[in-house]
Structure formats: structure tokens, C-alpha cells
Amino acid sequence: MSSRERILERLRQRERPFPEVAAPAVYRPMVEIADTSPAALRARFIGEAQKAACAVHEVASPEAAIDLILALVGREATLSAWDPAQIPLPGLASALELANVTLVGQDAGARVGLTGVDAALAATGSLVLMSGPGRYRAASLLPTVHIAVVAAGQIMADLESWLAAQKVTAPDLMRRFSNVVVVTGPSRTADIAMQLVMGMHGPRELHVVLLPSVEGP
Amino acid sequence: MQNRSNDFIPAAQVAIHDADLQRAVSFGTNAGYTRRRAAMFAAGEAHGQALRRQAAAIRRNCLNRLPELLAEAEANMTANGIRVLWAIDAEEANRQVVEIARRHDARAVVKSKSMVTEEIGLNHALEAAGCVVLETDLGEYIVQLGGETPSHIVVPIVHKTRESIRDLLIDRLSMPPTDDAEEMARFVRETLRRDFLAADMGVSGGNFIIAETGSLCLVSNEGNARLVTSLPRVHVALVGIEKVVATVEDYATLTQVLPRSATGQAMTVYTHLINGPRRANEPDGPEHVYVILVDNGRSGIYATTYAEALACIRCGACLNGCPVYQVTGGHAYGWVYPGPIGAVVTPLLTGLENASPLPYASTLCGMCKEVCPVDIDLPRMLLDLRADLVAMGRSEAVWTVGMKAWAGGVGSPATYQLGGRMAALAGKVVIGSLPGPLKGWTVYRTPPRFAKKPFRRLWAERQSRREERDEQP
């Protein structure tokens, strides 16, 4: 008998250990958000992301976003980035080219990484990043500075609602890709005498570039 | 890992007299306790308790369905391209990892924090097979450098002071001298970054597996778990069979209750879902992902009244809250899992005869249950384990004699009264410590003072005074 059969056999021999317990009838969200209007979610996302030690930049236009990104990249010759087509900023690719910034995928030498996001979560100030074509995991992981571009329409209430949306849009939507990471602030550790140190193995700075809502300011 | 739990009492005595350890553990556990409370009850006591009830119901419901969920998880992980293996014990799990390393010609192995790999002694097995294994969680890395073992489930070096970590890094790695935690962390980052880039294989644990999507779920703050599961061409995850949950809804609750209880965060910096190896159209990520479902005694626990222990999500809150752990630290418990949960699972996983002091390493104050995010009744199980020890005849003679004497003493009103008078008398004679086998009680405690007049006599005198009063007109 294989180990698989032996383990399952042993478990099946036992009656359910907690016959009085069923799954919760209703799942309460971790954070109750009373006002889920786009403006309220946006305000909450900004506040929570800042609490998680992100630098949040609200920009007035896509052009302003590109200027800000170029300023953050500074004099770096290379940028570890997602394919610009995966980032909701028209004109980004040509602006980077004009500034003589070479886009690389996984490059251990790049100081700055640039990505879009799949969603931003208001309850916890988190960013959801899925792997996929043109989407390097390394861009949000290896550099010391990570810049994430967030469109206003990408802000959702919380992890619960993002996961639920994956089920509704198409069965198993999130399984199409190998990796989903929910990022909440820059990497950190408190292992040395409980003292908080930012930038352990991942980025030390996380800049969120938040685009204006399409409906106007 | 070798079990030294039977040395709990002498090991605890050493820890109690270690001033650095006392300072570090006291600070760490207090910080952990305070941060957990603030995060768990951020929206009030009622909301926090509702979340605990929800998490408790989810874990127990998933354990009820464990065999079905494991089969479902296996099917969905396989559909996602993950190779799923089952290991009945430590030896089989280690052999499987070594075989995977050989198959992919992997020599350089990087690891992210995993308690189950400590349990099975994976590092030794891989090293014996010629691999170089590096822990990459800062705390685990320092543990490995110092040839120690982790002393806390979440904060492996909670027992160490900043000064002792500094000295170790200077001594072993010639770190430029600094007293600054940030500079020490940066030094380790740069050292380990080279190893990450050169690694052939990454080894992780797993916090949860979602059965309905076949996702392996991890939480981490440092980012090392992302590097371990993204950069090397092979990723192997070792996961206890109890970690499977049914749905993404179950997962959403648990992956957010866990950091609230562990570190006081609403969400860890990186909350990962791994749905297999890199897809053909993806630019990076591992080419091979293996999940090894490790039993190693868990199916045995499942069959007993201790099945509740399998609900544990390894947050460490019961360690931080425990008045025993707070003074002994983790190493005294002698094996992988310390604190109240360790005092329960160590005897269950390694044999009660190999960990007989642990069920007594508790004041039964109930704090461990109160802080547990899934409401595990640890005090009940500690008492049941004590009963098991008595049934095995493994309780110490002094307890047997003492309990018999007590049973005789309270057996009849006459002996009970006699006992009380004897105790009062003894209290006049004995000042510092009790004689004979009772001495153990008074090594760290003041012997109790008995009242000069026992309650029975006070009551009798009061009654007779009242009768006298009543008789007066």
C-alpha cells in the first residue's frame, strides 16, 4: 500500500472529529467597510497603504505619472519592469526610451522595479500582483525600490472581494497563472530584538503611483 | 530533530538564570502579546471574537472533511502542474526531497522558514546527500549560523539580544562591526542575495493549501519566501497534511487571522498563492514545483481526542501569552514546537514517554486558549495528557504518594480535620522549606501559612455565640 493510501485510510477510519461544527453560514470580512463608494475606498486605500509604509503619489494625469516615474528612476540606465503594455500608462514605453532607460526583466543589478497591479485593496492598503505574460515576478522583488502603478478603477474593498471576483468572472480565473502575491508595504523584518527594519530581502521602498479616476477629480 | 523534552526541568532552570535570555524573551513575548491584542480587536472586542469563532469553525470543519479535502487538493494541484507526493514519516519525506534534488542535479538549496522541515530534520538529510542548505529567514539564518534551533514558532531568535546577534555575525561572517539592527540586516541581505541568485532549488513550508483551487499558500514579511519560490528552477514545499482548507473564503479568513495573531499585522507584507510552475507564457518562476504532504504522526493524532491540536495555524500567540514560556523561552521544551501548543503536540508526535514533563509545563491559567485564534482548548488537552501519564504509570512517585495521602485526608470528616490541625502545627515549625519529598514545592515558593484557627472551629464558635444570643430574651 502506498503512503498516500495508508494516510487516507487512517484518516477515513475516524468519524468526523467535530460533528457539531459546520462551515460558517456567513463569512464576516476581516475589516468591515461601511462606505464602499469609489471615493471612500480610494481614501481608505491611501490611508492603509501609508500605514503599511508605502509612499502614495496621487497624480493628476498619466503624463504626471510618467514624469514622476522618470524622477524616481533618476540616472539609472536600467529598469526591471513589466512589459509596458501590462501597465495602464499610455506613452510609458516611448517616454522611457526617450530617457535612455533600458527595460530588463529579471536583472539582479537593477535598483528600481516598475509594475502595474491587478487590484488594490482598500481594507489593508495591499496590491495584488499576478504573474503572466510580460509580468516578471522579479520586478517587484529584486530591486530596492518598487514602483507600482494603480488605476483608480482597480481599487476594491478587500482580499475577500478580490477572491470572490476570481470565482465569479470565470471559474478558477486565478489558476490561469502560476503566482499571485498580495503585497502590503515594503519588505521588512523584526527578527533582531523585535526592532522593525525595512528592506530585508525585498524592496526597501514601495511607491504607489495612483492615477486619477476616469470620472474626473 | 532529537527530542530532549524529558530534560525540561533542568533546561528551564538554566534558562531562568540566563539574564540575557530573560531580557530578550520577556521583551519579545510582551511585544507579541500587545500587538496581537491591538490587531485582533482593532474593530472592538465583539468583532474580534466573532472572527475567532469564524476561524475556529473553519479549521474544525476542514478537519472534519480532511480525507476528502486532501484528495481534492491533490487533484487540483496536479491539474495546476504541481507534482504531489505523500510522506508517511520524516524518513520518507527526507528521502523524497533528496531524490528531487538528485533528479534535478540541485546542489545549492535555499530555504524559507518551515517548522515541518525542522520536525523532520531535512537540513541534515540534504547535507548528507551533498547539498549546501541555507536558511534565508533572517532569524533562521542566525539560528543556523550559531548551530542553534529556533526557540519560537514565529520569531526564531526571540531568545537572543541584539548584542549577541552582532557578535555572531562579526565572528562567523566578519561583518564590519556595528550595533545597528538595520546595518546588520543589510549585511545579511547582501550576503544572502548572492546565494539566492546561485541557488538550484528552493525549499519552503506551506501555511495553507486551498483544496478547490489547488493553491499552495505562504505568508512572509522579509520577502525570502518569494525569492525561494521564484528564483531557483525547482521549488519543493513540505506541508503538514492538516493544513488543507476547503475554499478561498476559508483561506481569506485564515490568512488574515494568522498575521493578526502572530505579529499584529492585518496582512503580512507578502501573502502568496502558488498555482504551480511557471506557465509557458510567463517570463520567470520555477520550472518544477513539488508539494510533499507530510503525515509524520498527524493521522495518529486525528484518531484521538487530541484532534483539535491539528487546528493550529502556528501563529505563536499561545507562546507569547504563556507565563511558563515567558520565563523558560523555547529551547527548554526540547523539541521543535515550544509553548503550550508544543507541550501538547510534542508528546503526541514523539511519544508521551519522551516528553513526560511537558503536560506539567503549564499553570493551567487558560491564557493559551484565550489568545488562540482558532480557540484550541489547550488546557483541557494538557490535563488529559496528565491523566494519560497517570494511566501509563508514568507519573512521579511523589505525586502518587501525595495524591493518595490527599485522598485519605479528605476521605472522611475526621481525617480531614486531623489533616488541617497537623498542617497548622507544621506551619508553626516549618519556616523556609518543606521536608522530604515536599521540598520540591518550596524551592521556588514560600510554603503556605495555615490559619491559627481552622474554619471549622471558627464556624463552631460563631454558632455557639449565636445560640447563646438567641437564648437571651
Q: Write down the domain spans for chain B.
A: 41-296, 398-471
pTM here?
0.92
Average pLDDT, integer, range B391-408: 76
Res. B315: pLDDT tops 50: yes
CA dihedral A168, A169, A170, A176 (to 10 degrees): -120
Split at pLDDT 50, 70, 90, the class of A173 is: confident
Q: Which pLDDT score, from 0 to 100, does residue B430 have?
A: 59
Reduce the DSSP state of residue B258 to 3 states and report it. Answer: helix
Confidence of residue A133 (pLDDT cuts 50, 70, 90): very high
CB-based contact B335:B356 (threshold 8 Å): no
**pLDDT score of B321 more than 80:** yes
Q: What is the DSSP letter of A171?
A: T
Tell me what pLDDT residue B427 has: 65
Among the listed residues B317, B316, B349, the one whose alpha carbon sits nearest the alpha carbon of residue B335: B349
Cα–Cα nearest to B121, from B2, B201, B203, B207? B2
Distance CA B271, CA B210 (A): 14
Q: Which of B116-130, B417-431, B448-462 has the lowest mean pLDDT?
A: B417-431
Select from B213, B289, B295 the Cβ nearest to the Cβ of A7: B295
Q: Report the residue from B60, B137, B161 with minimal CB separation from A21.
A: B60
* Averaged pLDDT for residues B62-79: 97
Give yes or no for a contact between B108 and B199, defined as CB atoms under 8 angstroms apart: yes
| DSSP-assigned letter for residue B212 | T
B422-429 long-range CB contacts below 8 Å, 24 or more apart? B423/B450, B424/B450, B424/B451, B424/B452, B424/B454, B426/B450
Residue B138 is nearest to which of A23, A184, A189, comparing CB atoms? A189
**Is residue B398 over pLDDT 80?**
no
Per-residue pLDDT at B215 exceeds 80: yes
Q: Check residue B271 and give its pLDDT.
A: 98
In this predicted structure, the answer to whether residue A215 has a pLDDT above a threshold of 80 is: no
**To the nearest whole number, what is the mean pLDDT of chain B?**
93
pLDDT bucket at B4, cuts 50 / 70 / 90: very high
Question: What residues of A are in contact with residue B230 (Cβ under 8 Å)?
Answer: 137-138, 141, 179
Q: What is the pLDDT of residue A39?
A: 96
All three cell numbers of B26, joined, read 520577556
Strand partners, B86: B293
Span B277-292, pLDDT tens digits = 999 999 999 999 999 9
Q: B37: Cβ–Cβ under 8 A, 6 or more apart, which residues?
A: none
Look at the alpha carbons of A69, B266, A137, B113 in this order and tell me if their dihedral is positive or negative: positive
Q: What CATH number does domain A3-210 carry, 3.40.190.120, 1.10.3720.10, 1.20.59.10, 3.40.50.10420?
A: 3.40.50.10420
Helix (H) or strand (E) holding A89, with range, is none
The pLDDT value recorded for residue B420 is: 72
| Lowest mean pLDDT across A15-19, B45-49, B165-169, B430-434 | B430-434
CA distance B35 to B55: 19
Q: By mean pLDDT, which of A97-111, B2-16, B187-201 is the weakest?
A: A97-111
Residue B414 banded pLDDT, cuts 50, 70, 90: confident
- What is the structure's pLDDT at B473? 60
Task: Identify the band that residue B2 occupies on the pLDDT scale cut at 50, 70 and 90.
Answer: confident
ipTM (interface pTM)? 0.96
In this structure, chain B runs to a length of 473
Strand segments, DSSP code E, in B241-384 are 244-245, 270-274, 288-294
Q: Say whether pLDDT at A217 is over 60.
A: no
* pLDDT, mean of residues A167-176: 76
Residues of chain A positioned with their CB less than 8 A from the CB of B250: 23
CA distance A86 to chain B (A): 13
- Residue A111 DSSP class: S
Which residues partner with B341 through β-bridges?
A: none
pLDDT at B455: 87
B:1-20 residues touching chain A, CB 8 A cutoff: none
For A187, the grid coordinates are 519588505
Interface of B with A in 312-331 (CB under 8 A): none
Per residue in A39-80, pLDDT (tens digit) is 999 999 999 999 999 999 999 999 999 999 999 999 999 999
Q: What does B327-365 look like in DSSP terms, one character per residue?
A: HH-SGGG-SSS-HHHHHHHHHHHH-GGGSTTGGGS----
Q: Do A175 and B80 touch (CB under 8 A)?
A: yes
Look at residue B84 and tell me whether its pLDDT is greater than 80: yes
Question: Do residues B38 and B264 make contact, with C-beta atoms less than 8 angstroms apart?
Answer: yes
- Give A216 to chain B, closest Cα distance, Å: 31
Which chain B residue has the Cα nearest residue A12? B67
- β-partners of residue B31 are none
Question: Looking at CA atoms only, how far is residue A155 from chain B in angstroms?
Answer: 17
pLDDT tens digits along B108-167 = 999 999 999 999 999 999 999 999 999 999 999 999 999 999 999 999 999 999 999 999
Euclidean distance between CA atoms B258 and B377, whole angstroms: 18
List A residues 64-103 in contact with B (Cβ-Cβ < 8 A): none
Give the relative orientation of helices B162-173 and B181-198 as an angle to the nearest 10 degrees.
40
CB–CB of B107/B195 below 8 Å?
no
Please tell me which of the candidates B161, B274, B303 has its beta carbon nearest to residue A13.
B303
B142 touches chain A (CB under 8 A): yes
Pairing mode of beta strands A112-115, A119-121:
unpaired
Q: Residue B126 in contact with residue B95, Cβ under 8 Å? A: no
Domain range summary for chain A, segments of one domain joined by +: 3-210
Q: Looking at residues A176-190, what average pLDDT do you find?
A: 96
B71-77 LR contacts (CB < 8 Å, sep 24+): B71/A8, B72/B211, B72/B212, B73/B209, B73/B210, B73/B211, B73/B214, B73/B244, B74/B293, B75/B214, B76/B211, B76/B212, B76/B213, B76/B214, B77/B209, B77/B214, B77/B216, B77/B276, B77/B291
C-alpha neighbours within 13 Å on the C-beta side of residue B323 = 7
**Which is higher by pLDDT, B32 or B407?**
B32
Q: What pLDDT score was predicted for residue B432?
A: 66
Task: Please choose, from the candidates A93, A48, A95, the residue with its C-alpha nearest in 3D space to the C-alpha of residue A206.
Answer: A48
CA distance B85 to A178: 19
* DSSP three-state, residue B54: helix
Answer for the pair A19, A173: CB distance below 8 angstroms, yes or no. no
* Residue bearing the bigger pLDDT, B108 or B431: B108
Buried b (16+ CB within 10 A) or exposed e, B305-335: ebbbbbbbbbbbbbbbbbebbbbbbbbbbbb
Classified as helix, coil or strand, A9 is helix
Q: What is the mean pLDDT of residues B88-117?
A: 98
Architecture, CATH, for domain B41-296: 3-Layer(aba) Sandwich (3.40)
